[in-house]
Structure 1
């Protein structure tokens, strides 16, 4: 009898241990606290908990640097094969892998979900002679070296967007005078004081300055006009085949079991439809940009090819 009770207790203990293990997920945030990737990861799980989609324990690790490649390299090594290990990453990571000669291969991770996007805008000084995107492109064609454009890090999504615009307009990418800035406010200062002819950055970085009358936004990289920028034409509308976003998403660990990948795809799909997540998007000013599972994996592959080709055209990669 005692033996039977002991076996039952042992079996129950195993079930409880399995449940406890299942009720914990580790999340790599390959950036310093307070940034966009950090907020994306933490708020996604807070909303998931609020919506009752996943209510287990979540442990976060912040490890910033080199466009996310330092944190992802650590994630690649330490979390391989872990069933419930996830990492936040984004468009910036794609180019950073190439520029930093990182050993990371995004195709080895399990694609879970693309969550958000922030589109980009090109802006000039409020009293600039460039009244339209065509005016700016004409100057770029005439003398690209004299048309200094500021934005984020070299090879980042801002730089890529400018390079795509140049390609669409027939301007040699290698002739661009792109000057990386420490942040969006630095880009605005450069535009206003005249050291930059234009700047390119996320909408959230520039919109307030445009509303204050310090800069003028000439174009946005969305497919269609945005409600909050109703007077601003898209690059495509202006005749330039450019659509690009600074997107953010979630990867599962290398060799994550298929069942766990499917479970996380399902959870993030439910998150995308939840009121809790929609409230986060509205509060943060993020655009929903959802894509899950294998379709997200195909997108990563396509985006990697596109971005790396632009980096080669710009002479930043071989």
Structure 2
């Protein structure tokens, strides 16, 4: 009888365990892989590695690895991520406005509705620069050069259709020239476009301010303007709007999980990211990199992405980069 009672108790406990909710996932137990869908040295790579560093320093993840998958404005990395991260509780992807543009211009098979928005993280002011040896001292000088010979005004930046390309085309349009004629050379990472700038192979370049901050401060590059609507403390380059050019553009970046993750796993990732970006360590890091805190939680970020898709499509269509 004792054995029978023991067996019945074990069976009851097993049945109860089957209907009880699973134990919550603790953020500090997370073992994560973050895909940076671009080469080393660029903005997405920097964002992924910054998140990696602070999540581990603050104990909001046990381990974090970063994997670079460059190509086609992030759409190669996006496609790989959608296929490999379905339902995964430990994979995330960095993306942003450049990916939105690349999805549209490349007619990519996947878009940001195929992944799970976790949080918008940062807003990076785009900066327009020229090499230190350039004859262009001001934004007005550069725009005059575009008017005189748009074909010989060569721009360096990230992938075709991305934020850098959009800004170069908008500046060309503001100079009174057909934006479809912009001579834009797309590079897969910030390191490559920087090399082109320092090597004198291009006329001007566009990137996130943080990517080229060191070269601007050292005097190797001359910053002519930023794309933010208002001046930013610590950045001497003035907004395009303050220089009479009616253009503003925020290079935002966010973090995504794979498709079809459980509500519990999504909540664990949201909590881990929210605690990370609320930490003093994160606030110190983004200040050092010249980024702005642009945090938005999952629901707000999801709505924002939908509005950005509509806005970016309209801009790309107006400058001949989309149908």
TM-score (normalizing by structure 1) = 0.80
Q: 1:122 to 1:241 in 2, by over 3 A?
A: same
Offset of residue 316 of structure 1: 3.6
The aligned counterpart of 2:313 is: 308
Q: 1:66 to 1:175 in 2, by over 3 A?
A: closer
* Alignment partners' CA distance in 1, 2:83 and 2:48: 20
The aligned counterpart of 1:227 is: 233
CA contact (8 A) 1:113 1:249 kept: yes
Aligned runs of 1:169-180 on 2, under 5 Å?
169-180=175-186
The aligned counterpart of 1:131 is: 137
CA contact (8 A) 1:28 1:71 kept: no
* Alignment partners' CA distance in 2, 1:34 and 1:14: 46
The aligned counterpart of 2:48 is: 41
* Alignment partners' CA distance in 2, 1:136 and 1:178: 15
The aligned counterpart of 1:2 is: 6
The number of aligned residues is 312
* Alignment partners' CA distance in 2, 1:60 and 1:296: 23
CA contact (8 A) 2:169 2:179 kept: yes
SS at 2:107's partner residue?
Answer: coil
Match of 2:277 among 249, 272, 277: 272
Post-superposition Cα deviations, 1:250-294, rounded to whole Å, max 9, x if no partner, equal: 123323345544554344333222113223324555432212222
* Alignment partners' CA distance in 2, 1:95 and 1:81: 26
CA contact (8 A) 1:30 1:70 kept: no
CA contact (8 A) 1:184 1:201 kept: no
Structure 2 stretches of 5 or more lacking a match?
none
Post-superposition Cα deviations, 1:23-68, rounded to whole Å, max 9, x if no partner, equal: 546544043685543453354255335434x345656655433332
* Alignment partners' CA distance in 2, 1:12 and 1:51: 36
CA contact (8 A) 1:26 1:86 kept: yes
SS at 1:201's partner residue?
Answer: strand
* 1:238 matches 2:243: yes
Q: Which runs of 4+ in 1 moved over 6 A?
A: 11-17
Aligned runs of 1:282-297 on 2, under 5 Å?
282=287, 284-297=289-302
* Alignment partners' CA distance in 2, 1:45 and 1:37: 12
CA contact (8 A) 2:97 2:163 kept: yes
CA contact (8 A) 2:25 2:265 kept: no
Post-superposition Cα deviations, 1:191-247, rounded to whole Å, max 9, x if no partner, equal: xxxx533222232444333344344221111222222223x2111111223222333
SS at 1:120's partner residue?
Answer: strand
CA contact (8 A) 1:185 1:205 kept: no
TM-score (normalizing by structure 2) = 0.79
